[in-house]
Structure 1
Amino acid sequence: MLNSKQCDAFLAVAEMGSFDLAAERLCITASAVTLRIQSLEKTLGHLLIVRERPCRVTQAGQSLLHYLQHTRRLEQNLLQDLTGQLTSSSFYRLNIATNDDSLTTWLLSTLQETLIREKIVLHLKVDDQTQTHHLLEAGLVNACISTEAIAMKDCLAEPLGTMTYRMVATPQFVQKWFPNGINRENLKVTPAVIYNDKDQIHTDIILKHYGLTSETYPHHYIPSANAFAEAIYIGLGFGMLPEYQIGSRLKTLELIEILPQVRTEIMLYWHHWKRQSIALEKLTTTLLQKAHLKMNQA
């Protein structure tokens, strides 16, 4: 087992090139540095430092240096993952999983002040809202926005609010494809816009109300919230869009809600570990206080 104080002394001399400078870094005397390195060399049976000006490491010392630097990087990465603190700056990094609709509409504007004030940077992973909690379970993120109401062990799932989705299309699209109303037969030949094959909102509605599976009608897969909405705006198809994103277009009649009876509310939850870093605690507080207000601004 390597002695940590002896290794720290060796690492300091190897990196500083001087016993005196290493002593200053470690806040001990130069003679103490010498004794620790001599003890380490005796334990390993190799000369590690050539006492010159500047000092240089031997071949054996180079192997030990690489090992200690690698170990230090692993420790820094572990501390960063657990606390979020970036070693090279005063910023904290948080890994968050979110659904694309939340990211495109309300998430960043809700967190803006907290991110700036607390010096937090986000590394975001985007997935369907039914899948994001799996990223937390796998340890790939510190927290996530999900439709899953049940928290996994040692985590909390706290309600953020609901996102309301409406089935919409442009007036021109409706006039072309649904001139006499919507029915099972014209749905079979009318193009729909769906986020991706994980998105069940649209497909479940059409299956429940009209008995049609997605294989029986034409549809676009557009896995980008902005591009998805744009596809509907330019008349490529009809689909489910969040009210927050399209409220003004409904008021100006740029879009029409074609099936009001299938309006859907999706409850979102914030999943996070019970024991959080200070940065994640502050982010959590902001989300729980403000998210539902943002989601209801149509």
Structure 2
Amino acid sequence: MFDYAQLHALAIVISEGGFERAAKILCVSQPAVSQRIKQLEEKIGQALVIRSTPVEATPIAKRLLRHYSQVQLLESELRIEMDVDDPNLPTIVKIAVNADSLATWFIPALSEVFKRHQWLLELIVDDESYTHNLLKNGEVVGCVTTTQTALAGCNSEYLGEMEYLCVATPDFVKQYFPVNITHSSLEKAPAVIFSTKDKLHEKYLFQYFKMKAGSWLEHKIPSSESFLEAIIQGMGYGLVGHLQAKPLIDKGILVEITPNKRKRIPLYWQHWNLTAKQTTLIYRSLAMTAKHSLCHRSPS
């Protein structure tokens, strides 16, 4: 049997990145936190915390944290069913989401369900091709991801597709693409990309222009809002999701420089395979909004 006070201490140490910060959260001394982790490690027979800065969870610790998070979710569900209202134990739902979804359709999709049930939302923002790792490690109960195949112990539900348009300001197009887009013009025109994790721009240029990574100039701006603002300010061209791009194109602020060359990215909702009210209602809310906001595959 696990000591859940010890598991709780482990979860706080990892989430806070160290023993000192965890001690403040737990309102105990740092040696007391260290003792709990040590006792848990002795019981498991393996190291659970990599003493780095910040500290990191070992692979076995990640499995324990996933188990602990699932137990928390089920206990929260049980409290609701038993009508046990404890303000000191609010229901916190941790979800991983990509920045483009967060900047557009994601919050409107969940706002009503979280207000209705008075749950607390904790988001971790990462590239959509990496969010499933947070689910696998037990850091979140669900994630918006590009990974279709369900992780072990999880379900995968298709949401829709984000369509990306290659856009820039009219003045930028006149300066860098006065006639048409060529290898030479793409090598000289600065691009705006989200981060080094984001391979969308790289895949786009290889698919349509057979260009290899490193053969163009780029700004790296890891903020969805600032990324878009940089393009609007004429710093470069970039791939912008249709929900943000189309209104700006309609206003003449941006133009689509490759109208016949778009990139669609499928999005899935993966969540733990638990009979929990939270994940069921969250998926319903996401699916309803995604149906109207995202693009969808044509029937085969």
* Normalised TM-score (structure 1): 0.70
Is the radius of gyration larger for structure 1 or structure 2?
1
Which residue identity is paired with 1:80? Answer: Q
Residue 80, structure 1, aligned to residue 85, structure 2: no
CA deviation profile, 1:175-224 (whole Å, cap 9, x unmatched): 11111211011111110011111212111121233232231211011111
Which residue identity is paired with 2:108? Answer: S
Superposition RMSD on alpha carbons, in Å? 2.7
For structure 1, the 5+ residue unaligned runs are 1-62
Task: State the Cα distance separating 1:249 from its structure 2 match.
Answer: 1.0
Cα–Cα, structure 1 residues 77 and 158, in superposed 2: closer, same or farther, change >3 Å?
closer
SS in 2 for 1:261: coil
Where in structure 2 are the equivalents of 1:12-161 lying within 5 Å? Answer: 79-80=71-72, 82-84=74-76, 88-89=87-88, 91-161=90-160
Residue 257, structure 1, aligned to residue 256, structure 2: yes
Where in structure 2 are the equivalents of 1:190-269 lying within 5 Å? Answer: 190-269=189-268
CA deviation profile, 1:84-110 (whole Å, cap 9, x unmatched): 579544731111000000001110011
SS in 2 for 1:95: strand
Which residue identity is paired with 2:146? Answer: T
Aligned residues: 229
Structure 2: distance between partners of 1:78 and 1:129: 22
Structure 1: distance between partners of 2:230 and 2:112: 32
Q: Do 1:165 and 1:242's aligned partners in 2 also have CA atoms closer than 8 Å?
A: yes
Cα–Cα, structure 1 residues 83 and 235, in superposed 2: closer, same or farther, change >3 Å?
farther
The share of aligned pairs that are identical, in percent, is 33
SS in 1 for 2:127: coil
For structure 2, the 5+ residue unaligned runs are 1-31, 41-64, 80-85, 296-300
Task: State the Cα distance separating 1:78 from its structure 2 match.
Answer: 7.6
SS in 2 for 1:188: helix
Structure 2: distance between partners of 1:113 and 1:175: 45
Q: Do 2:69 and 2:138's aligned partners in 1 also have CA atoms closer than 8 Å?
A: no
Which residue identity is paired with 2:240? Answer: L
SS in 1 for 2:92: strand
Structure 2: distance between partners of 1:276 and 1:287: 18
SS in 1 for 2:260: helix
Which residue identity is paired with 2:203? Answer: D
Q: Do 1:84 and 1:279's aligned partners in 2 also have CA atoms closer than 8 Å?
A: no
- Of 262-271 and 275-284, deviating more is 275-284
Aligned counterpart, 1:21:
none
Residue 175, structure 1, aligned to residue 167, structure 2: no
Aligned counterpart, 1:288:
287
Structure 1: distance between partners of 2:206 and 2:147: 22
Cα–Cα, structure 1 residues 146 and 78, in superposed 2: closer, same or farther, change >3 Å?
closer
